[in-house]
């Protein structure tokens, strides 16, 4: 039976390597479409949680996962030899930067090596891990072909960048358009047919490199525009202008403007990291992406600015930062999620610790906050606890926080997200 026939009668088995923020929601959508899904994980704990029907990803309700596991549509394993059961395999593993801000492809390479010996003829492999243009063909393809099968003949290989926005109530895995580019035209066609079985909209492009560059463009666009706003924030402060008011006014223009906002720094797995993939790769072509690197430098400086701004605000209360009790409000990288990846709160807490401040935090989504291996105490957001702090530092603007109590009880608030824009109080200092 052909690949297309197995897709049509839903007898095809799909594999997902890496059951994290990208992989688990993807596996759920495959299973909801009626396909049997095998999740492959190096973490025994994650595999056990999935097999017990318990979700650890906020965008995947436990009730939904449990129903699919109970129907035998999703199972997880740490045995990668079971890749032999799959007609299509999606690799969704992290692609971090090393300390020199160079791409670390070790997770991706490991995932490819673990499944490569077991791939049967005709298997489709797609890579969703964000990386630099050329990765799919230069790194993943040789690993898959090392066991005698040839991409485009015995195997099919494509790149389809993940577009996950944790906590987005409108656009999730199923209804976010999916870009797909294959090594060959047949690879692209097979990947399009695969994704069409469980996602709403597929956008084919001419090559894996075009698909890889698409993801980088999306995140570099955001990185550069946020850097612009962070720079305008500094200029506006010197001029005595409220940048938040300016953005609100500018976004009333119905054409030619898209609002971006300043903040305490970039977070999440994509925007703080992805631009440096391209900067690294461009140097191999004797190109220097100065615009991108300047944006990265501007955004990386924001946690330092936040601490300096907090120090100046405390000075107006005749308080040094050293020895002051700072209540950090929100430590996830963005509002209403528990994701701590690359959160600016981590660097800010480190800088506050270096300055000998007494740091505590409250985040309704993050029960544990570790900085340099030490846990920062979590406190309840009571009027008494707020009043004990010399300053409240709003880093993440969660919507389920009682900001009225914060403003009423605090001695001083530094708001880095304009979360308190409705409050006209001398206690509130805006970034």
**C-alpha to C-alpha distance for 70 and 53, rounded to whole angstroms:** 8
- Strand-pair category, 36-40 with 74-77: parallel
Q: Which three-class secondary structure string do you get for 268-304?
A: CCCCCCHHHHHHHHHHCCCCCCHHHHHHHHHHHCHHH
Length of the chain: 431
pLDDT score recorded for residue 325: 98
Total-model pTM: 0.89
Return the pLDDT at 320. 97
Q: Matching CATH topology for 215-298 and 301-430?
A: no
For residue 168, what pLDDT band results from cuts at 50, 70 and 90? confident
- Span 215-239, average pLDDT: 94
The answer to whether residues 401 and 330 touch, using CB atoms and an 8 Å cutoff, is yes
In angstroms, rounded to a whole number, what is the distance separating the alpha carbons of residues 283 and 305?
30
CA angle, corner 361, sides to 318 and 61, nearest 5?
155
- The stretch 7-14 carries a mean pLDDT of 96
Q: How far apart are CA 140 and CA 412, in angstroms?
A: 53
Tell me which fold the domain 3-206 belongs to: Rossmann fold (3.40.50)
Mean pLDDT (whole number) for 196-208? 97
When pLDDT is cut at 50, 70 and 90, the band that residue 309 belongs to is very high
On the question of pLDDT at 100 being above 80, the answer is no
Beta bridge partners of 86: none
Neighbours of 149 (CB within 10 A): 16
Find out whether 158 and 184 touch, Cβ atoms under 8 Å. Answer: no
Q: 172: closest CA among 317, 21, 326, 357?
A: 21
Could you tell me which residues come within 8 angstroms of residue 307 by beta carbon, excluding any fewer than 6 positions away?
A: 321, 348, 351, 352, 355
Question: For this structure, is 92 an active site residue?
Answer: no
Topology classification of domain 301-430: Rossmann fold (3.40.50)
Overall average pLDDT of the 223-252 stretch = 96
Is residue 109 classed exposed, middle or buried when 0-12, 13-18 and 19+ CB atoms within 10 A define those classes?
A: middle
Q: What are phi and psi of 96, to 5 degrees?
A: -80, 180
- Rounded CA-CA distance 220/398 in Å is 25
Contact 372, 295 (CB under 8 A): no
Annotated catalytic residue, options 86, 187, 223, 270: 270
Give tens-digit pLDDT for 317-352: 999 999 999 999 999 999 999 989 889 999 999 999
The answer, yes or no, to whether residue 297 has pLDDT greater than 80, is yes
C-beta of residue 179 within 8 angstroms of C-beta of residue 215? yes
CATH assignment, 215-298: 1.10.1040.10
Q: What is the pLDDT of residue 266?
A: 86
Backbone angle region of 318, left / alpha / beta, with phi > 0 → left and psi within -120 to 50 → alpha: left
Report whether 205 contacts 180 (CB < 8 A).
yes
Question: Of residues 87 and 59, which shows the higher confidence score?
Answer: 87
Residue in 244, 254, 389 with CA at minimum distance from that of residue 328: 389
**Chain segment 243-283, per-residue pLDDT in tens:** 999 999 999 999 999 999 999 998 876 777 777 777 878 88
Domain boundaries, the chain: 3-206, 215-298, 301-430
């Amino acid at each position: 039976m052909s690949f297309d026939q197995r897709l049509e009668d839903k007898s095809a088995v799909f594999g997902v390597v890496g059951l994290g923020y990208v992989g688990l929601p993807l596996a759920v959508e495959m299973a909801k479409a009626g396909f049997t899904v095998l999740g492959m994980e190096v973490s025994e704990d994650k595999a056990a949680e999935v097999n017990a029907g318990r979700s650890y990803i906020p965008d995947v309700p436990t009730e939904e996962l449990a129903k699919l596991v109970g129907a035998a549509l999703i199972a997880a394993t740490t045995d990668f030899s079971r890749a032999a059961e799959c007609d299509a395999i999606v690799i969704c593993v992290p692609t971090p930067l090393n300390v020199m801000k160079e791409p670390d492809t070790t997770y991706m390479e490991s995932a490819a090596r673990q499944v490569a010996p077991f791939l049967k003829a005709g298997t489709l492999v797609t890579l969703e891990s964000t990386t630099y243009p050329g990765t799919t063909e230069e790194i993943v393809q040789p690993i898959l072909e090392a066991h005698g099968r040839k991409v485009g003949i015995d195997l099919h290989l494509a790149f389809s960048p993940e577009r996950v926005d944790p906590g987005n109530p409108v656009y999730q895995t199923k209804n976010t358009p999916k870009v797909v580019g294959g090594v060959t035209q047949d690879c692209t066609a097979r990947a399009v047919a695969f994704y069409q079985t469980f996602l709403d909209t597929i956008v084919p492009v001419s090559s894996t490199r075009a698909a890889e560059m698409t993801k980088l463009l999306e995140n570099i666009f955001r990185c550069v525009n946020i850097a612009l706003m962070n720079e305008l924030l500094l200029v506006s402060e010197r001029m005595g202008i409220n940048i938040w008011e300016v953005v609100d006014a500018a976004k009333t223009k119905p054409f030619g403007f898209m609002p971006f906002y300043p903040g305490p720094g970039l977070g999440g797995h994509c925007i703080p990291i992805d631009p440096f993939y391209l900067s690294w790769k461009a140097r191999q072509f004797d190109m220097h992406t100065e615009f991108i690197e300047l944006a990265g430098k501007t955004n990386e400086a924001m946690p330092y600015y936040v601490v300096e701004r907090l120090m100046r605000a405390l000075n107006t209360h005749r308080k040094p930062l050293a020895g002051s009790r700072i209540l950090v409000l929100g430590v996830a990288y963005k509002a209403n999620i528990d994701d701590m990846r690359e959160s600016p709160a981590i660097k800010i807490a480190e800088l506050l610790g270096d300055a000998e401040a007494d740091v505590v935090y409250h985040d309704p989504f993050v029960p544990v906050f570790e900085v340099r291996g030490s846990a920062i105490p979590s406190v309840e957001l009571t009027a008494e606890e707020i009043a004990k702090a010399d300053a409240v530092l709003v880093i993440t603007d969660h919507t389920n926080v009682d900001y009225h109590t914060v403003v009423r009880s605090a001695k001083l608030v530094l708001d880095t997200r304009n979360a308190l824009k409705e409050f006209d109080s001398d206690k509130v200092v805006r970034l």
